[in-house]
Amino acid sequence: MPAIAFVNQKGGVGKTTTALGLASAAWARRTPCLVIDLDPQQNATTGLGVWAPVATVDEALASDRPGVVAELAVGSGWPDDRGLPPRVVASTAALAGRERQLLSDPVGAQDRLRVALSGCGGLTLIDCPPSLGLLTINALFAADAALVVTEPSAWASDGVSEIMRTIERVAGRKPSGLKLSGVAINRLARTRDSRYWSEQLVSDHGRLVLPPVCLRAAVAEAAARSLPIHALPPRRGAAEACAEFDVLYDLVVGAGGPEDGNGL
C-alpha cells in the first residue's frame, strides 16, 4: 500500500483533516495504517490522541538508519473496539529547529525521511506543514504519491499550481517517481463564493480534482475530541462526512488517483 504525502504550502486548508479522515476510513476498515506527523504544530499527533510521545519523527530525521521509522511509531489513542487504531510517528515542536539544521547538512538533507521509511511497507499517511521547506520536500521524496489538499477560496488555484510544480520537480529527481493522487477540495460550503472557486479549480485542474469534502461541524468535532470521524454518532453531518472520506479513500488509496494515477 502506498505512502501518501498531504501537501499544500497554504495554511489551514485541511491537510491534517484530510489525512485524519483517510486514517479514519482505514480505521473503520481495519486496514493497518501509519500516520507520520511532519508538522511542528503537532495537529495530527493530538488529533490521533497522542500526548507526550516517547519517540518522535525528529529522531527519524536525525538518524541515518534505514527503516528506523518502524521503531519510532507509537500506538494512537483512537478506540480499538470498532476499528483498528493507526500507529503514529509523532511530531514535536523541536521539528522546526531540525528543519533549520537540515538546511546546513550537505548530504541527503532532502531524503532523510525516505531512508528512515525504507522497508516499511503498508499504508502510510504523511501530514505536512504549510510550507515548501525541507520537511515537505522530505515527505515528497519519501512518498509514492502526493495528495494536494485545498479549499475553494480566492487564489487557491494559484497555490495548487505552485505545489504541483514542486511535485513535478521532485518527481523528476526520484528514480522511483512520484504519483500525483489528485487535488482534494476540502471545506466546500453552500455559498456562491465556495461554488465559484471550486468550479475554478475544476476548470484549471480538470480531472485531477477529486470529489469534495464539505464544511461540516462533525469534522471539526472529531478533531477536537481526538476521535476518528467514523466513531462519531451519525448526526450533525458525521455520516455524510464519513461517506465523503470513504470515496476519497477509495480513489486515493484504493486505485491510485484519477485515470489510475498520474505518473509524473
DSSP codes joined into one string, 153-205: STTHHHHHHHHHHHHHHHHHT-TT--EEEEEEEEEE-SSHHHHHHHHHHHHHH
Which residue lies nearer to ligand ATP by CB, 170 or 219?
Answer: 219
The least CB distance from residue 248 to ligand ATP, in Å, is 11
Residue 16 interacts with ligand ATP (CB under 6 A): yes or no: yes
Residues 6+ apart with CB under 8 A from 80: none
Whose cell is 487564489? That residue is 155
Which residue lies nearer to ligand ATP by CB, 11 or 32?
Answer: 11
Which residue lies nearer to ligand ATP by CB, 50 or 120?
Answer: 50
Q: What's the grid cell of residue 77?
A: 489513542
Residue 219 interacts with ligand ATP (CB under 6 A): yes or no: yes
Nearest position to Mg ion, beta carbon = 16
Residue 15 interacts with ligand ATP (CB under 6 A): yes or no: yes
| Residue whose C-alpha is closest to residue 100's, from 91, 112, 109 | 109
Residue 43 interacts with Mg ion (CB under 5 A): yes or no: yes
Site for ligand ATP in 33-62 (CB under 6 A): 39, 41, 43
Residue 14 interacts with ligand ATP (CB under 6 A): yes or no: yes
Residue 186 interacts with ligand ATP (CB under 6 A): yes or no: yes
- Can you tell me the distance from the alpha carbon of 157 to that of 159, in angstroms, rounded to the nearest whole number? 5
- Can you tell me the distance from the alpha carbon of 192 to that of 177, in angstroms, rounded to the nearest whole number? 38
| Residue whose C-alpha is closest to residue 214's, from 229, 231, 200 | 229
Instruction: Give the interface with Mg ion as residue ranges (CB under 5 A).
Output: 15-16, 43
Instruction: Give the interface with ligand ATP as residue ranges (CB under 6 A).
Output: 11-17, 39, 41, 43, 130, 186-187, 213, 215-216, 219-220, 223
